[in-house]
Chains A and B, each alone.
Chain A
Amino acid sequence: MNYVFSFSWLAEYYPVLLKGILITIELTVVGGLLGVALGTTCAWARALGPAWIKPPVSAYVELIRNTPFLIQLFFIFFGLPSLGVRLTELQAANLAMIVNLGAYSCEIIRAGIQATPRGQFEAGASLAMTPIQTFRYVVLVPALQRIWPALSSQVVIVMLGSAVVSQIAAEDLTFAANFIQSRSFRAFEAYFVSTVIYLVLAIVLRQIMAGVGGMLFARRSVR
């Protein structure tokens, strides 16, 4: 092998990489927050909601969990315009990530809700709380605490999965890598550097999720 590695292109292209990193972070933050919110709502619907709401929510969850993210993304970006829904690359990428994480986190959070002892629901009810109030104030926090590690892993998986949004020309980190390799012809180095960046992002994201968990579930006095 007489290939000579070169990273000199970094000097010229680092702003491109930086922009890509920021977009990947933006996608992860928006997708993570709204996706978990959607997942929580769906988990409530599937575990505790009225009977009529369960079939459509189950259908959504099963459909998303059993099709590739790439196809969901293509369907949203290329397919929806024929229904008159035209989204920018970034909007489509954000929506796809929310919808995707929503389905996965629904199943994870539902498991947490279903592990709640019956007595917690009854105690809430006996104190005259409505079912929604009991869910919000009594059930939800311990349920999230139970499944926080699994939820954190899923958020990391979705962040890594976001690499494919480059395929609809959303200008994320992978898009930056593709751009650099097409200009500098340093394909391996460009992908190697972005892979390392993804790895760092994944490690940092895991720490952040642990930190958020620590804050959410911290024991604190009520004052």
Chain B
Amino acid sequence: MSLIEITEVRKSFGPNEVLKGINIDVAPGEVIAVIGKSGSGKSTLLRCINGLETIDSGSISVAGAQLLPDEAHLKALRLKVGMIFQQFNLFPHLTAGGNVMLSQMVVKKTPKPEAEAVARRMLERVGLAQKFDAYPDELSGGQQQRVAIARALAMQPTALLCDEVTSALDPELVAEVLAVVRELAAEGMTLLMVTHEMKFARDVCSRVVFMHEGRVHEIGPPEDVFAKPGTPELKQFLGMQ
């Protein structure tokens, strides 16, 4: 039984079709890397799964929650699947703890003491227990991204979408964020991540999706995709020609 079902998804921006019929099924606990050139539609796909973009046709469901453009369905979907952004998008007026507590209290109506306890646990999980009262601009990029992960985890999603989570980071800060993601994968979290970190994808992922011009060009376990690319486009992308 798949956790995430993406069926024949099409999406256009004006005359430009960026997703041309995408089919991917993700099983619970799978870790999937989505790779491809910029403009191949990989970020758009992720944003569609979270309902940040509407789709023109096809269907997306996560653990039974369908992507439909009304508020109730969007909320149900987003409770199942969290998202981590390239630019962190922490709320600047709230502390790290406040960032992690806000949606629990507002969306799930969790009482404050409980939300705080969860926030502390989640921050501890990403190694930032001591930064509970720090504001985003007092944290490094890597720390901010870890807070963003804690914030998403606090909603207890069944799956996480990671949209180039290390691309905005200085090179020396990439490792600390990837370590957190690696740990989540080890704990059995279902992950769908757009990434440029090929080594990480090879080490951690169960499957790799190569997207090219709005289509799933190749899909398979990393040992196949990286070692035996079947198409010239993937070979070129991997720099093997």
Contact = CB atoms under 8 A, between A and B. Distances in A.
B57 interface: no
Contacts of A138: 91, 102
A209 B160 CA distance: 43
Interface residue SS majority, chain A: helix
Interface stretch (A65-73, A122-130, A186-194): A122-130
Contacts of A145: 93
B52 interface: yes
B79 A123 contact: no
Interface string A122-149: 1111111111010001100110010000
A185 interface: no
A1 interface: no
Contact of B82 (A117, A124, A126, A130): A126
A126 B92 contact: no
Interface residues of B, number: 35
Contacts of B97: 221-222
A124 B78 CA distance: 10
B106 interface: yes
A123 B93 contact: no
Contacts of B135: 219
Contacts of B187: none
A8 B94 CA distance: 56
A50 interface: no
**By CB atoms of chain B within 10 A, which of A126, A131, A141 has the most?**
A126
B103 interface: yes
A122 B52 contact: yes
B89 A128 contact: no
Nearest to B135: A219
B224 interface: no
A123 B50 contact: no
Nearest to B77: A128
Interface in A49-77: none
A67 B97 CA distance: 48
Given A125-B78, A141-B93, A130 B98 contact: no
Contact of B133 (A126, A128, A221): A221
Nearest to B91: A138
A64 B200 CA distance: 59
B85 A123 contact: yes
B95 A127 contact: no
A140 B133 CA distance: 21
B167 to A, nearest CB: 14
Interface string A195-223: 00000000000000000000001010111
Interface in B87-111: 87-95, 97-98, 101-103, 106-107
Given A128-B75, A128-B107, A119 B93 contact: no
Nearest to A131: B71
Nearest to A220: B95
A120 interface: yes
A131 B83 CA distance: 17
Contacts of A221: 95, 97, 132-133
Given A125-B52, A128-B103, A222 B98 contact: yes
A145 B92 CA distance: 11
Contacts of A129: 103, 106-107
Contacts of A142: 91-93
Interface of A: 117, 119-120, 122-131, 133, 137-138, 141-142, 145, 217, 219, 221-223
14 contacts: A120-B91, A122-B85, A126-B78, A126-B85, A126-B152, A127-B78, A127-B103, A130-B71, A131-B71, A133-B107, A138-B91, A221-B132, A222-B98, A223-B116
Interface of B: 50-52, 71, 74-75, 78-79, 82-83, 85, 87-95, 97-98, 101-103, 106-107, 116, 132-133, 135, 148, 151-152, 155
Given A127-B151, A142-B93, A217-B93, 7 more contacts: A126-B152, A127-B82, A127-B103, A133-B107, A142-B91, A222-B101, A222-B116
